[in-house]
A and B are shown apart, each in its own frame.
Chain A
Amino acid sequence: MTETPSEKAPSLLELAAVSKFFGRTVALRDVSLRIEQGQRWAVFGRNGAGKTTLLRILATLMRPSRGEVCFGGKPLNGRESELRSRIGFLSHTTALYGDLTAEENLLFYARLHRIEKPRERIAALLRQLELEHRAREPVRDFSRGMQQRLGIARAFVHRPRILIFDEPYTGLDGPSAALLQDLIAQAGEITLILTSHDLERGLALADHAAILNQGNLVEQEEVKPDGDTRIHQAYARWVQGQR
């Protein structure tokens, strides 16, 4: 039976007993998660635990097979566009066209998001991500790290208030990772949901943590600033398989 969203003040995003099946494969099973505005969540789990599926459902790229997704306390159905205008999504794929230049790629997405003065915004982003000298070159000529950075620019071009990042540090070298953290810091009060294989790196950005295991949400905790050992223990148990 589907749980109804909580009766408290409406959360920003809420998953209520969400399950997702791909044929016989259960990617998520009865996951309930409440994300308040301004919270920063790090989601951990082994490969195949359901982290990417969870993020794609939150980003409206997938519908759940069962359960309900709520935005602002109301069911999401029919309001996906409203949510998408607020989301910046970053995954393993950069969604960039190799035969377009960096500038053309960002301009395309800026136009889809109907942002004002797109060229100024794009110039500022490229400068911030140290790509302004390659702005007029086709993306297929970029290194993997540079494409990742441009993917970050794409995710930020419309000034999102909800950041959903699937292992954002993959493919980023140290300086690029620092640029990403700068962008997140400059975004002000945003809501962040990210997945990471690196516990410490994930916790450094988060005030809440969740752990998925075989599609089940087995742990969700507030991260305490004093080096929360409970999360570490849960991570060791569910992700590293230590007893």
Chain B
Amino acid sequence: MLSQTWAIFRKDLRLELRTKEVLLAMLVFGLLVLVILNFAFEVTREETRRLAPGVLWIAFTFAGILGLNRSFALEKENHGLEGMLLAPLEPGYIYLGKWLSSTVFMLIAEVFLLSAFVVLFDLNVQAVLIRLLLVILLGTSGFCAVGTLLSAVSANTKMREVMLPILVFPVVVPVLIAAVESCAVLFEGGEMAEYYSGLRILIGCNLIYVTVSYLTFGYVLEE
């Protein structure tokens, strides 16, 4: 299982390093969102800390949707899914490989977006960086866990660019709320118990989303 999942991940990574299609789209769009929101809010430092978590996750999720759209669009264009389905592997392994690649690409984009965010909003996150990165990791993997499954669903529809956010956003609400509130604790210096509570929700969501998606992925791919 691991070798086949890894082969799918490596294939996606190799393609992305060669074309940089997904990363560039996510970066440009994410930066655009941050810049516009930066200009839209003329706020005090206190208000910045309060708004920062929401701004950050708006940029992440909007950029992430672009990346997820490309994930299965690429397979559809190349009929790669058919090739993978002809191999002796469970469809769930395809899901795991695609989930892994989507998460990694989104995390790479988020590193750059976080750097831009810190500069644009003049926030010092050094003291909380490790805890912030943990939230971003869990939030991103949870987002991609759902997004990968639903990207496969929407890839076969006519309006997939519109369909994917419509399908994804209602389902990832628990992840987004937990991620935003955990980040709020870090930026505003709140109670760490709330931060850990948010982490527990994120871990739970990850486990549920990955398990359900892995088990149901075969049905999504059926003709």
Contacts from A to B (Cβ < 8 Å)? 56, 59-63, 81-82, 84-85, 87, 89, 91, 93-100, 104, 108-109, 111-114, 154
Contacts and interface: CB of A to CB of B under 8 A. Distances in A.
A84 B223 contact: no
Contact of A62 (B14, B18, B223): B223
Given A56-B223, A112-B4, A112-B7, A99 B19 contact: yes
Interface stretch (B85-93, B149-157, B195-203): B85-93
B79 A113 contact: no
A100 B222 contact: no
Given A59-B86, A84-B87, 4 more contacts: A61-B82, A104-B11, A108-B10, A112-B83
B88 A96 contact: no
A96 to B, nearest CB: 7
A97 B11 contact: yes
Nearest to A110: B7
Chain A contact surface mostly: loop
Nearest to B90: A81
Nearest to A113: B87
A85 B88 contact: yes
Interface residues of B, number: 24
Contact of B3 (A93, A99, A111): A111
Contacts of A99: 15, 18-19
B190 interface: no
Interface of B: 3-4, 7-8, 10-11, 14-15, 18-19, 78-80, 82-90, 222-223
A104 B13 CA distance: 12
B11 A108 contact: yes
A236 B82 CA distance: 34
B11 to A, nearest CB: 5
B3 to A, nearest CB: 7
19 contacts: A60-B85, A63-B222, A81-B88, A81-B90, A82-B88, A84-B86, A87-B86, A89-B86, A94-B79, A98-B78, A99-B19, A100-B11, A100-B14, A100-B15, A104-B11, A108-B11, A113-B87, A114-B4, A114-B88
B196 to A, nearest CB: 40
A89 B85 CA distance: 11
Contacts of A94: 79
B80 A97 contact: yes
A95 B11 contact: no
B18 to A, nearest CB: 5
A217 B73 CA distance: 36
Question: Which 9 A/B pairs are nearest by Cβ-Cβ distance?
Answer: A95-B83, A112-B87, A85-B88, A111-B7, A93-B79, A81-B88, A84-B88, A62-B223, A95-B79
Contacts of B8: 112
